[in-house]
Amino acid sequence: MNFSLPQPANRAHIWRALVRMLVTFIVLVAVAVRPVAAQSILRDAETEALFQDMMDPLLVAAGLQPGQVRVHLLGDRSINAFVAGSQDIYVFSGLIEAADSAEEVQGVLAHELGHVMGGHAIRVNEGAKAATGISLLSLLLGAAAVAAGAGDAGMGIMMAGQQAALGKFLAFSRVQESTADAAGAKYLSKAGISGRGSLAFFKKLQNLEFRYGVKQDDDQAYGRTHPMSGDRIQALREVYVVDPAWEKPADPAIEARFQRIKAKLSGYIADPERTLRKYPESNTSIPARYARAYAWHKSAYPEKALTEVEGLLASNPDDPYFLELEGQVLLESGRPKEAIPALRKAVTGSRSQPLIAATLGHALIATEDPANYPEAEEVLKTAVALDNQNPFAWYQLGIVYANKGDQPRAALASAERYSLEGGQASLALRNADMAMQGLPEGSPDWIRAQDISLVARAEVERERKRR
């Protein structure tokens, strides 16, 4: 008795396998092309200011202007960083936790700047296109073999083609990484920053690979998106140790600020018990007080948090970030009126830093005192003028306009807010159209509402077609 399936079923089985292989390849390439599709961005005035001060010497070394590339912090405890778009660098919170020094982070930023200057975020499509060409060709050849009755041979051709396609894409990725390593080393050298931190961080990555059993031999290199860590360390060491900046001491001011924001981040994202074990009360340093203040605040012990803040302010009464923290604790503990003096001083001391100004605007509104609304409107309009990418500031400004009875501008503020929040295109469209109905046609606000409406409408249409 013959237990083999009839030929049509054999062919159907092969075609199903073909489709599965193609889908698998597309998914693998998509993951490599877009390392992070959606992560929460953490906004903090002090952290963003430090990132920019760490980044600017590297930008100048690369022939760019200070501030031309922005660094964003993502709330993800993975040890990672990547470039998205053309001039935006994203650093994971886990990388800041893992780094022991500012120089280590600057080494990572220099590497990512190498990707920016090489246009790698855009050129990655070249690698995907070449790999897809190989993949499709193998599918066609395999399909021809299947149609001719050589099912096993056809499947072999397809599988070999998919493997070759993925290998070509990964090889393209490894070349980009090596190029970024070399460019990053050059930028560090021109900026007068030692490569010690860069090597130290690569060593951390290598130790993690050892811990998770990732082999370092050449036989394993084929399936990697990055060159082997050992090879990268060896190549970079040869460049760094002969560089004039190799023995240069780290910038003590940058290092002190880094230890502050690292402790602050730990207090914000880590479990409070873990933070308090890491930073016991016997440790009265600024980073330790910073971390404990956030841990106590998260644990709903505002008085203990404020005690730590008092210790911070005793060391520098005019530090805008200490004052911001005091205002934040008071505001989020239901004491907005008490928060206002510290936040006003913080705004002045930070030269109207928009994130701090938005918090002051929130405190003024939270008092529910109409006498505070004019000041709230002023500081919030300043905040969105300096940083229009803050949906919370737009939300607060919308409250002010609504309380004034200015519904068109309240709708416009809501449209701005929803346009910045992912997946809210329909709400952005609705509010933008509402704003246009009440605003003078052709005015700057009307034109802005029209812009939001056009973009949101296109996004709504795309979503409808996808469904």
The verdict on residue 432 lying in a domain is: yes
Residues 184 and 90 in one domain: yes
Residues 165 and 273 in one domain: no
Q: Which H or E element spans position 90? A: strand 88-92
Which pLDDT score, from 0 to 100, does residue 311 have? 97
Residues 186 and 266 in one domain: no
Which pLDDT score, from 0 to 100, does residue 27 have? 45
pLDDT category, 179, cuts 50, 70, 90? confident
CA gap 318, 345 in Å, rounded:
8
pTM of the shown model: 0.80
Question: Any idea what the CATH number is for the domain that residue 369 is in?
Answer: 1.25.40.10
Domains: count for the chain: 2
Average confidence (pLDDT) over 259-287: 96
Residues 202 and 272 in one domain: no
Residues 215 and 364 in one domain: no
Amino acid at 394: W
Residues 233 and 283 in one domain: no
List, for residues 69-94, the tens digit of each pLDDT value: 999 999 999 999 998 866 799 999 99
The verdict on residue 100 lying in a domain is: yes
What DSSP line would sit under 258-284, residue for residue? HHHHHHHHHHHHS-HHHHHHHS-TT--
Among 212, 240, 268, where does a domain finish?
Answer: 240
Residue 13 pLDDT > 60: no
pLDDT cut 90: percent of the chain above it = 67
Domain that holds residue 68: 41-240
Residue 255 vs residues 54, 152, 415: alpha-carbon distances, Å: 10, 62, 41
Average confidence (pLDDT) over 151-175: 49
CA gap 128, 446 in Å, rounded:
42
The verdict on residue 313 lying in a domain is: yes
Q: Which distant-in-sequence residues (6+ apart) come within 8 Å of 246 by Cβ?
A: 194, 195, 196, 240
Q: How high does pLDDT run on average in the chain?
A: 84
Which pLDDT score, from 0 to 100, does residue 151 have? 52
Residues 222 and 292 in one domain: no
Among 173, 208, 240, where does a domain finish?
Answer: 240
| DSSP tag of 248 | P
